[in-house]
Amino acid sequence: MKLTPLFAGVLTLALVGTASAQTLTIATVNNGDMIRMQGLSSAFTEETGIELNWVVLEENTLRQNVTTDIATNGGQYDIMTIGTYEAPIWAKQGWLKPLDGLTADAEYDVDDLLPPIRDGLSVDGKLYAAPFYGESSFIMYRTDLMEKAGLTMPEAPTWEFIGEAARAMTDRNNDINGVCLRGKAGWGENTAFLTTMSNSFGARWFNENWQPQFDSPEWKETIETYLSLMADAGPSGASSNGFNENLTLFQQGKCGMWIDATVAASFVTNPEESTVADKVGFALAPDTGKGKRANWLWSWALAIPASSQNADAAEQFIGWATDKDYLETVAAEEGWANVPPGTRTSLYENPNYQEAAPFAQMTLDSINAADPTNPTVDPVPYVGVQFVAIPEFAGIGTNVGQLFSAALAGQMSADDALAQAQDAVTRDMTRAGYIK
């Protein structure tokens, strides 16, 4: 048969090239800082001889792939990029190797990590994932448009002021929207934002007995404020806007204000990417005077799955990518404003950084203001600011996000969305055994 040799050839080719020297497979998310790390990592290979095999994926695909892999013990990756949500849950399951080598390394200086960030990645005092960058959320606004509207942004505004300013800054004829907020469904997208917003309105996901609270007046006020703000001053197509979409809009000068991750500050002030780089001001996330602000706490961190055969080399790489020298390397190549922020105290004490990053102090204040163990006005049985640190939250949060996204798209009313969210969450929490 004539085809057989050809086929055998193809298979042989497929088999060759899988074997090589020590190689680390790294799964990471396609964010700017990670892509920069990928670009700089050839220095690590030259230094150590360890080859790196990068898997850069869009956030949702990354989560799905690494979760399936680690939960089934698939062993495809040596290093995974995970967040503050996954780290403690996975560590408790025994899926991650503790980073004892780094913790013991004086040069790595684990005590230099910002306490809220480090705590979020530790279980029982052991560090399970090393933060690559950390973030909270705050307000980025256009100083020129604020001035034009005849207003002054206070350092710590209220939602009432945000509403007033957003409506005043909106100029539909010139395609300027007063405020850009997340609307794209997903527990890490609109649900994260709306959860922090609800915290500032005094709402909570669950009461002490794990009963969902979407039927509370606080949630109703949150969603109604959000919807009317977006209707009056938000961009068109907001229900499909996530972090990246809003970043693009802000960089193009189409948003008066944007309440989102503090890491965005370096992107919107970078003149190479942003058309409004020199006209951006920063303020703390808004509140309603109830004692909680609408800011979250998140970090993307590097962790080693328990199944990795190359744990030592993996820890070596994590050390390289998250130590003080890495920050210096990025600063030398790209300038201080572009180093991955939010992980180390020393960075915020560095005068070079303070000078290059006008948002540094505001970022640090926002991170320190977030309290994952005590996130809401009323007491709650869970940990986590913009998420609930239980394994089921990824599913529940996405479901709720879909409903709020539908409300934003005008496909259902705020009341319907909240009622359906209450039902859906009750159903899932009952199934998971939280509600007896």
What SS3 state is found at 245? helix
- For another protein, which residue of 22, 42, 152, 252 counts as binding (CB under 8 A)? 252
Task: Kindly calculate the radius of gyration of the chain based on its CA atoms and give it in whole angstroms.
Answer: 23
Report in angstroms how near the CB of residue 428 gets to another protein at its nearest. Answer: 8
- For another protein, which residue of 40, 369, 409, 435 counts as binding (CB under 8 A)? 409
Maximum Cα–Cα distance for the chain, whole Å?
A: 82
Structure tokens at 27: 């799964």
The residue count for binding another protein (CB under 8 A) is 87
Give the length of the chain: 436
In the bound state with another protein, the residue whose beta carbon lies nearer, of 381 and 391, is: 391
Distance from C-alpha of 263 to C-alpha of 59, rounded to nearest angstrom: 16
Residue 113 per-residue DSSP state = B
Check if the beta carbon of residue 246 is closer than 8 Å to that of residue 317: no
56 scored as a contact of another protein (CB under 8 A)? yes
Cα–Cα distances in angstroms (integers) from residue 296 to residues 64, 333, 350, 368, 406, in the given order? 23, 30, 24, 10, 23
Q: How far apart are the two ends of the chain, measured CA to CA in Å?
A: 66
Distance from C-alpha of 167 to C-alpha of 150, rounded to nearest angstrom: 12
- For another protein, which residue of 247, 302, 380, 429 counts as binding (CB under 8 A)? 247
Q: Which of residues 172-231 bind another protein (CB under 8 A)?
A: 184-186
In the bound state with another protein, the residue whose beta carbon lies nearer, of 199 and 420, is: 420
Which one, of 335, 304, 374, 325, lies nearest residue 25 by Cα?
A: 304
Sequence letter at residue 350: N
Distance from C-alpha of 83 to C-alpha of 60, rounded to nearest angstrom: 12
Check if the beta carbon of residue 287 is closer than 8 Å to that of residue 156: yes
- For another protein, which residue of 137, 239, 262, 322 counts as binding (CB under 8 A)? 239
Sequence letter at residue 269: T
1 scored as a contact of another protein (CB under 8 A)? yes
- For another protein, which residue of 40, 45, 48, 55 counts as binding (CB under 8 A)? 55
423 scored as a contact of another protein (CB under 8 A)? yes
Sequence letter at residue 35: I
Q: Which of residues 16-35 bind another protein (CB under 8 A)?
A: 18, 25-27, 30-32, 35
Report in angstroms how near the CB of residue 398 gets to another protein at its nearest. Answer: 6
Backbone angles phi, psi at 301, to 5 degrees: -135, 160
In the bound state with another protein, the residue whose beta carbon lies nearer, of 368 and 411, is: 411
168 scored as a contact of another protein (CB under 8 A)? no
In the bound state with another protein, the residue whose beta carbon lies nearer, of 70 and 121, is: 70
Report in angstroms how near the CB of residue 74 gets to another protein at its nearest. Answer: 5
Check if the beta carbon of residue 237 is closer than 8 Å to that of residue 403: no
In the bound state with another protein, the residue whose beta carbon lies nearer, of 195 and 246, is: 246
DSSP string over 356-369: H-TTHHHHHHHHHH
**One character per residue 358-397, x = contact with another protein (rule: CB under 8 A):** ---------------------------------xx-xxx-
In the bound state with another protein, the residue whose beta carbon lies nearer, of 31 and 343, is: 31
**One character per residue 63-92, x = contact with another protein (rule: CB under 8 A):** -xx-xxx-xxxxxxx-----------x---
- For another protein, which residue of 40, 48, 54, 352 counts as binding (CB under 8 A)? 54
- For another protein, which residue of 402, 418, 425, 429 counts as binding (CB under 8 A)? 402
Q: Which of residues 278-337 bind another protein (CB under 8 A)?
A: none
CB count in 10 Å sphere of residue 402: 18
Q: Which of residues 258-287 bind another protein (CB under 8 A)?
A: 267, 273
What SS3 state is found at 279? helix
424 scored as a contact of another protein (CB under 8 A)? yes
In the bound state with another protein, the residue whose beta carbon lies nearer, of 26 and 283, is: 26
Candidates 14-22, 212-220, 311-319, 367-375; binding stretch for another protein (CB under 8 A): 14-22
